[in-house]
Amino acid sequence: MTTSTPGTTEANLTQLEYLALNATVNVADGHARQELTETQKRIIDDLPTLFAKAAGEPLEELERSAQQTFLTTFGQHRYPTGPDRVLSCYASSVAMEILARSLAGTVTTVGLIHPTFDNIPDILRGMGLRLTPIEESLLAGGDLDAGVPPEVGALFITTPNNPTGTVLAEDRLRLVARLCRERDIVLCLDTSFRGFDYRAQYDHYAVLEAVGCRYVVIEDSGKLWPTLDLKVGMLVSSENVGLPVPEVYSDILLGVSPFILALVERFARDAADGGLDELHEHIAGNRRVLRETLAGIPGVSFPDEDSRVSVERVAIPRSSGSQLFERLQRQNVYVLPGRQFHWADPERGEDTIRVALARSRGTVAAAAAELRSVLLG
Amino acid sequence: MTTSTPGTTEANLTQLEYLALNATVNVADGHARQELTETQKRIIDDLPTLFAKAAGEPLEELERSAQQTFLTTFGQHRYPTGPDRVLSCYASSVAMEILARSLAGTVTTVGLIHPTFDNIPDILRGMGLRLTPIEESLLAGGDLDAGVPPEVGALFITTPNNPTGTVLAEDRLRLVARLCRERDIVLCLDTSFRGFDYRAQYDHYAVLEAVGCRYVVIEDSGKLWPTLDLKVGMLVSSENVGLPVPEVYSDILLGVSPFILALVERFARDAADGGLDELHEHIAGNRRVLRETLAGIPGVSFPDEDSRVSVERVAIPRSSGSQLFERLQRQNVYVLPGRQFHWADPERGEDTIRVALARSRGTVAAAAAELRSVLLG
């Protein structure tokens, strides 16, 4: 997609990401663009064999095996395994679209975590759903019963959250799930960034199934590995979900490529065999480079001290906002503004930017150096 | 996707296709499942190099080159090239979903070709759009001004059509486009099966641009080549389309995999270098096997005598309908019923089935033999 140039204030985040796709230093989108590790390179060298394997195996077994390997690698052992319970999608956003369409007939108001990536509110609103913001702080420690308005028919939580990295802890998930069961709310989780943070890898399904609430979970291989966006989103729903998820799914797709399923399985096995620790070290190293390079600049700080996901928020002096973007873009460096993540109150994101960390060390170092120079200049 | 068993009457076509995915003889879905040709095998052997190329090239150039190669291979030289005019999607159905969402705010009633594959009416209805059937015969030779109701705000035509293979001829496209310009109707074309029929490869964009109507075209690489569903759908729209297509697109995706774009380009080049003739011969051969095997069975005929697409309708004695499916499924042979294609009048499809031809010769021969035995039995 080539695109005309929207302003940083009115464009959505994905439109701003397009601008960065061909930039010298693109630290805008959250896709995985770091280099392949040595063991990942060996998987890529083996692609012709993988193609033959995917062509020869019964699709049902191949899909079941890929789903199981992926989910259990990230600690999800008790996911539902009945017919139509795990649907493979082209991407997590396609899973999101199917979920939104499935909700639209039944639910009027969605309680949506705030802040979060803006395509989630956009997709939900596009289906005519009303949104009410649910603050991260409420989910983390507030009075849920008082804080979730009575009109909420579905509650949508991104965990770990994008851009903050905030993880919904197990005891809080249990409380949220109980509230949802009591009020017959559909609990929706987007766990796309789970792979980056062991604290988000407790078995969510064990909690959800024990409580017995209606739920939908969006799982995603897309943020983790530099597979050139060969990825799978999974739409997992409870037996009792009571939404036409498989019917809507069948309007959009018959299934994903068995080649991609086989590839995701191989990358998940590699992750289980040490690749995940390597990935965490890489992201932590990039985070350190960014923080150290920007250390000591007046008015600059890192609000998500404990975040482990592949994006990092940087708080900047409020006055530097739009000027900052212009000056960075002149150096061909692209980051995302914070405004659009605060979908219910953009002003609150005015003094933050988001820097992607799933890049080579060199790209993050170059972005950090330019940021430092622009913030000091 | 594993799935529970819906009846052949109430299920949608994609749900019936799922049942066939693991069948011994799956001639249900229209995906390309024939064997790779010798030159295609060489592309697959070269996948690691292709991955490296896709990783190293600027995305914008790679995408532009893949789109150009694909479109011009099929005779589409005058497609619009401005910003956001050709958007690469995960699949043609994702392009369809984006189109439906883009129409929903502006258009109330869509005139939709009848019959056609049922996910098109399902996706449009799912967005709250009203549908009115436009018969193939009207498009082919009728009085368009009288036949297209005044309330129609968008006109959707599948050409070549699925399942009939009917091609909208150049002079008829021109008349349709003129009507659309006069009435300010958005003309929507789905040309996913174009690759199978040279008669559908005249330059549609030259006609549309000369007339100057508002238009959207869905192009698709997905039906042609046995790439294990590694594919691209393209959503092409005119400068004057007046719909929020790029905005809706950016809610759903940032872009497709550069690896898939590079692969589609290689397969398109192979098609231009003789692969397309080879594909046409393969499909024609499979069609011949089917027709010859079923020749002489009382009440059996082929209503789409001149069809060249990769699916074939077979007219069967009316009484044999649902019994036929049960008996075929007992032999693990899956075809699609005609009912659901006739989305506005299912009864008219009662006495046809659809057999997929993009399979190995052996699969089509086995399906044809079973069909013969069941129809005679």
B126·A101 Cβ contact <8 A? yes
- Of B119, B252, B20, the residue nearest A90 (C-alpha): B252
Q: Given strand B233-237, what is the order of strands in its sheet?
A: B86-89, B233-237, B215-220, B186-190, B152-158, B109-114, B130-135
DSSP conformation class of A56: H
- Of B114, B165, B191, the residue nearest B347 (C-alpha): B114
Q: Look at residue B218 in the predicted model and tell me its pLDDT.
A: 98
Mean pLDDT on A243-262: 96
**pLDDT above 90: residue B24:** no
- Apex CA A197: angle with CA A156 and CA A367, to 5°? 95
- A300-337 in b/e form (b: 16+ CB < 10 A) is bebebeebbbbbbbbebeeebbeebbebbbebebbbbb
Task: Tell whether A119 is within 8 A of chain B (Cβ).
Answer: yes
Compute the mean pLDDT over every residue in chain B, rounded to the nearest whole number: 94
Helices (H), chain A: 13-20, 38-45, 47-56, 59-73, 92-104, 119-126, 136-141, 144-147, 170-183, 204-211, 245-252, 258-270, 276-294, 321-330, 361-376
How far is residue A320's CA from residue A128's CA, in Å, rounded to a whole number? 36
Q: Which two tokens stand for residue B144?
A: 């368009």
pLDDT band, residue B7 (cuts 50/70/90): low
CB proximity under 8 Å: B 44-63 to A:
44-48, 51, 54-55, 58-60, 63
Burial class, B372, CB count within 10 angstroms (exposed 0-12 / middle 13-18 / buried 19+): middle
* Count of beta carbons in the 10 Å neighbourhood of residue A176: 25
Q: Look at residue A166 in the predicted model and tell me its pLDDT.
A: 98
Closest Cα in chain A to B12? A250
How far is residue B256's CA from residue A3's CA, in Å, rounded to a whole number? 15
Contact between A28 and A16 under an 8 Å Cβ cutoff? The reply is yes
Contact between A211 and A230 under an 8 Å Cβ cutoff? The reply is no
**pLDDT above 80: residue A353:** yes
pLDDT band, residue A118 (cuts 50/70/90): very high
pLDDT tens digits, A365-376: 999 999 999 999
Where is average pLDDT lowest: A187-196, A236-245, A320-329, B63-72? A320-329
- Of B168, B156, B74, the residue nearest B116 (C-alpha): B156
pLDDT band, residue A2 (cuts 50/70/90): very low
Task: Tell whether A23 is within 8 A of chain B (Cβ).
Answer: no
Task: Tell whether B258 is within 8 A of chain A (Cβ).
Answer: yes
Q: Which helix (H) or strand (E) holds A111?
A: strand A109-114
DSSP conformation class of B156: E
Spacing of C-alpha B306 from chain mean position: 17
Helices (H), chain B: 13-20, 38-45, 47-56, 59-73, 92-104, 119-126, 136-141, 144-147, 170-183, 204-211, 245-252, 258-270, 276-294, 321-330, 361-376
SS3 A186: strand
**pLDDT above 60: residue B1:** no
* Alpha-carbon gap: B37 to the closest alpha carbon of chain A (Å): 14
Q: Which two tokens stand for residue A370?
A: 């330019």
DSSP A198-257: GGG-S-HHHHHHHHT--EEEEEESTTTS-STT---EEEEE-TT--S-HHHHHHHH-S---
**pLDDT above 70: residue A322:** no
Distances (CA, A) of A70 to A63, A67, A252: 11, 5, 23
Q: Name chain A contacts of B94, Cβ cutoff 8 Å.
A: 90, 94, 252-253
Q: Which two tokens stand for residue A139?
A: 């989910």
Q: Look at residue B6 in the predicted model and tell me its pLDDT.
A: 55
**pLDDT above 60: residue B5:** no
pLDDT band, residue B320 (cuts 50/70/90): low
Contact between B106 and B132 under an 8 Å Cβ cutoff? The reply is no
pLDDT tens digits, B257-315: 999 999 999 999 999 999 999 999 999 999 999 999 999 999 999 999 999 999 999 99
**pLDDT above 50: residue A3:** no
B59·A12 Cβ contact <8 A? no
**pLDDT above 70: residue A68:** yes
Where is average pLDDT lowest: A141-145, A284-288, A307-311, B329-333? B329-333
In this complex, the residue of A31, A59, A251 whose CB is nearest that of residue B126 is A251
How far is residue A155's CA from residue A134's CA, in Å, rounded to a whole number? 9
In this complex, the residue of A29, A90, A250 whose CB is nearest that of residue B254 is A29
DSSP B94-132: HHHHHHHHHHHTT-SEEEEEES--THHHHHHHHTT-EEE
DSSP conformation class of B37: P
**pLDDT above 70: residue A6:** no
In this complex, the residue of A2, A54, A254 whose CB is nearest that of residue B60 is A2
Q: Name chain A contacts of B237, Cβ cutoff 8 Å.
A: none
SS3 A134: strand
pLDDT tens digits, A223-244: 999 999 999 999 999 999 999 9
DSSP A3-48: -----TTTS-HHHHHHHHTTSSEE--S-S--SPPPHHHHHHHHTHH
* Count of beta carbons in the 10 Å neighbourhood of residue B20: 21
Q: Look at residue B278 in the predicted model and tell me its pLDDT.
A: 98
Mean pLDDT on B183-188: 98
Mean pLDDT on A158-164: 98
Mean pLDDT on B139-163: 98
Cα torsion A160, A164, A165, A170 to 10°: value is -50
ipTM of the complex: 0.94
Task: Tell whether A93 is within 8 A of chain B (Cβ).
Answer: yes
Contact between A187 and A213 under an 8 Å Cβ cutoff? The reply is yes
A228·B54 Cβ contact <8 A? yes
pLDDT band, residue B3 (cuts 50/70/90): very low
Where is average pLDDT lowest: A64-73, A235-244, A330-339, B130-139? A330-339
A144 residue type, one letter: L
* Alpha-carbon gap: B225 to the closest alpha carbon of chain A (Å): 13
Q: Look at residue A325 in the predicted model and tell me its pLDDT.
A: 83
Mean pLDDT on B36-42: 98
Compute the mean pLDDT over every residue in chain A, rounded to the nearest whole number: 95
pLDDT tens digits, B342-368: 999 999 999 999 999 999 999 999 999
Q: Look at residue B10 in the predicted model and tell me its pLDDT.
A: 75
Q: Look at residue A326 in the predicted model and tell me its pLDDT.
A: 82
B146 residue type, one letter: A
Q: Which two tokens stand for residue A110?
A: 């969605």
A93·B229 Cβ contact <8 A? no
- By percentage, how much of chain B surpasses pLDDT 90? 88
Number of A/B CB contacts below 8 angstroms equals 168
